[in-house]
Chains A and B, each alone.
Chain A
């Protein structure tokens, strides 16, 4: 039956014609190229030399160099050729690379601690937002809560104003509480922003899980919390993964609050990257190198969870 149906596509109203498929495919490929091109350009720029990076017309073919990465990870000082000649021979390949430009490495740059900050703040706030969001969403989904609809609206309304509108009050509040430029402060802030998204998304997912599952577990001897952990959560994994990705993407990329509230200790990558300065201005290869490294964790995280993400986004659209 199905075999027959799939073969007779000519007049099928559900299956697209080959031409429509070709057009759709072409559009998707075009879109993919347009989105991927800037990324490729950034990855390529990271391997260019300073002059190649700002050459006009832009260079597609160039001599690759690791200068950008070396510059990203180090702080250098310029010396006279005499001074450099007197030094013992370079110990490593990057020492050598730097000395070719009449410079010596003075020490490591701040990129590693900034990256660690991003990891701690990004994943920490994602974990907290998803954890709190799951509990709240479960409660909203399962219990009779007075004014539940209003509460849900309040939760959503925290996302309605632009960050700039609350930036100053938050800054003043943070200064009072000594939370400016602390990892804890940033984690709390991103958690607060993300938890509304998490509650709404997860409520949808948990609503889809029939109550009977946990009720069966309750009758069979579980407490409410055990039923949540061992029966509901395994079935909500898809939704939790999708929510976690959205939360992580937000807190990972957040720029405005990071600029405003962090300057040293707790600075994350987004405010750090644009201010990588080389000799005579922005060090574009180093900026590109930082951007490339910055994108890697989120790409990895998304690839690891992509199976869930795909199911998660379409979840609830079709009744099984």
Chain B
């Protein structure tokens, strides 16, 4: 098991920079998810950690040892691919045992280790079948088995559930997390699916355009997004942004939102007047007749226990998550009340969050 450290990692292909100056440390035994839209550099970062791609600049340390330019095989890590990459000319046992065969282990020992791994993954009944006959989930289990059998320092997974259908993906999410609890190996998991990242990871790195925008636990990333990108990318529906322009003073507990004053968590920095955005999660909006921010109901989407109500305000459209018991009529004018302690403020130009008391609350709470 190992700690993975990435220092100033940069990778460019000709003109295009895929990864820019990434820095992070993944502690031993952490389930670390790299989350971002396609083309954000998450897979490239993972491939550099694996040694399948060489960085243009920067360092990769495994347990403090510099492995930046070491061959993939010499890093003692395992990689799970999106398309499983099971060798079609070998059966399940052959696939799982392959890494051991590469190491030159004896046949009997290989068989024992394969059996043990298969037992751990509950695929013992499949060991002698052909890989082409397996279902997607079983293929994924075999791919995991091939990764686990060597007991590597770390697992690197590149969208391992991406090729499965929704139902199976959910099941495998649970299984992967369960497996992680049992063997406790450092895992780096690349995905574009926020639900996978949120439900499995201990730490999430949200990436955008080659940069790591934020690293934190799922709660931190959700409750205290460091940038508008993160706020927008995580959560479904995403965080609402209401634009306004104002200056900020440290210690203020309200902001001048157009003509009304809106309560916000205590502001911790001074700023000259600039375009800002008020970030509100849909579940932090309530309808209140007397509230000063008003809008017109545009539509409602029924989701069982809750409903997503879209409201047009003079400053932009909002999505609010309300109990499905609330009666909403399209076209009616409503007052909007925000859960003031949970609001976020962003500087529109840089996209970065303004420091507020909310930050402290999450960090220390």
Verify if B120 is at the interface (C-beta below 8 Å from A): no
Verify if B60 is at the interface (C-beta below 8 Å from A): no
B81 touches A216 (CB 8 A): yes
List the one stretch of B72-80, B268-276, B319-327 in contact with chain A: B72-80
A216 vs B82: C-alpha distance in the bound complex, in angstroms?
11
A216 touches B83 (CB 8 A): no
Verify if A89 is at the interface (C-beta below 8 Å from B): no
B99 touches A212 (CB 8 A): no
Q: Which residues of A contact B73 (CB under 8 A)?
A: 218-223
Verify if A234 is at the interface (C-beta below 8 Å from B): yes
A279 vs B146: C-alpha distance in the bound complex, in angstroms?
73
Nearest A residue to B89, CB-CB = A234
Q: Which residues of B contact A212 (CB under 8 A)?
A: 81-85
Bits for B89-132, please: 1 = Cβ < 8 Å to A, else 0. 10000000011001100000000000000000000000000000
In A215-270, the 8 Å CB interface with B consists of 215-223, 226, 231, 234-235
Nearest B residue to A222, CB-CB = B102
B88 touches A215 (CB 8 A): no
A220 touches B89 (CB 8 A): no
Min C-beta distance of B39 to chain A, whole Å: 18
A219 touches B50 (CB 8 A): yes
Q: Which residues of A contact B75 (CB under 8 A)?
A: 219
Q: Which residues of A contact B288 (CB under 8 A)?
A: none
A215 vs B79: C-alpha distance in the bound complex, in angstroms?
9
Bits for A184-214, please: 1 = Cβ < 8 Å to B, else 0. 0000000000000000000000000010110
A219 touches B72 (CB 8 A): yes
Verify if B281 is at the interface (C-beta below 8 Å from A): no
A235 touches B88 (CB 8 A): yes
Our pick among A219, A223, A226, A235 for the contact of B79 (Cβ within 8 Å) is: A219
Our pick among A215, A218, A222, A235 for the contact of B89 (Cβ within 8 Å) is: A235
Q: Which residues of B contact A217 (CB under 8 A)?
A: 98, 102
B52 touches A215 (CB 8 A): yes
A220 touches B85 (CB 8 A): no
Verify if B55 is at the interface (C-beta below 8 Å from A): no
Q: Which residues of B contact A235 (CB under 8 A)?
A: 88-89
A219 touches B51 (CB 8 A): yes
Min C-beta distance of A219 to chain B, whole Å: 4
Q: For B52, B83, B103, which residue has the most chain A Cβ atoms within 10 angstroms? A: B52
Q: For A215, A216, A221, A234, which residue has the most chain B Cβ atoms within 10 angstroms? A: A216
In A24-56, the 8 Å CB interface with B consists of none
B89 touches A219 (CB 8 A): no
A210 vs B84: C-alpha distance in the bound complex, in angstroms?
10
Nearest B residue to A226, CB-CB = B102
Known: A210-B85, A213-B85, A231-B87. A219 touches B77 (CB 8 A): yes
Min C-beta distance of B358 to chain A, whole Å: 42
A219 vs B124: C-alpha distance in the bound complex, in angstroms?
25
Q: Which residues of B contact A220 (CB under 8 A)?
A: 73, 78, 98-99, 102, 146, 150
A210 vs B86: C-alpha distance in the bound complex, in angstroms?
11
Min C-beta distance of A298 to chain B, whole Å: 28
A235 vs B89: C-alpha distance in the bound complex, in angstroms?
8
Bits for B301-333, please: 1 = Cβ < 8 Å to A, else 0. 000000000000000000000000000000000
A222 vs B52: C-alpha distance in the bound complex, in angstroms?
12
B-to-A contact residues, CB < 8 Å: 13, 50-52, 71-73, 75, 77-79, 81-85, 87-89, 98-99, 102-103, 146, 150
Contacts A216-B87, A219-B77 known; list 12 others, CB within 8 Å: A144-B13, A212-B81, A213-B85, A215-B52, A216-B85, A220-B73, A220-B99, A220-B102, A222-B73, A223-B71, A231-B87, A234-B89
A and B contact pairs by CB, cutoff 8 A, 24 listed: A144-B13, A210-B83, A212-B82, A212-B83, A213-B85, A215-B52, A215-B81, A216-B79, A216-B81, A217-B102, A218-B52, A219-B73, A219-B77, A220-B78, A220-B102, A221-B73, A221-B99, A221-B102, A221-B103, A222-B102, A223-B73, A231-B87, A235-B88, A235-B89
A-to-B contact residues, CB < 8 Å: 144, 210, 212-213, 215-223, 226, 231, 234-235
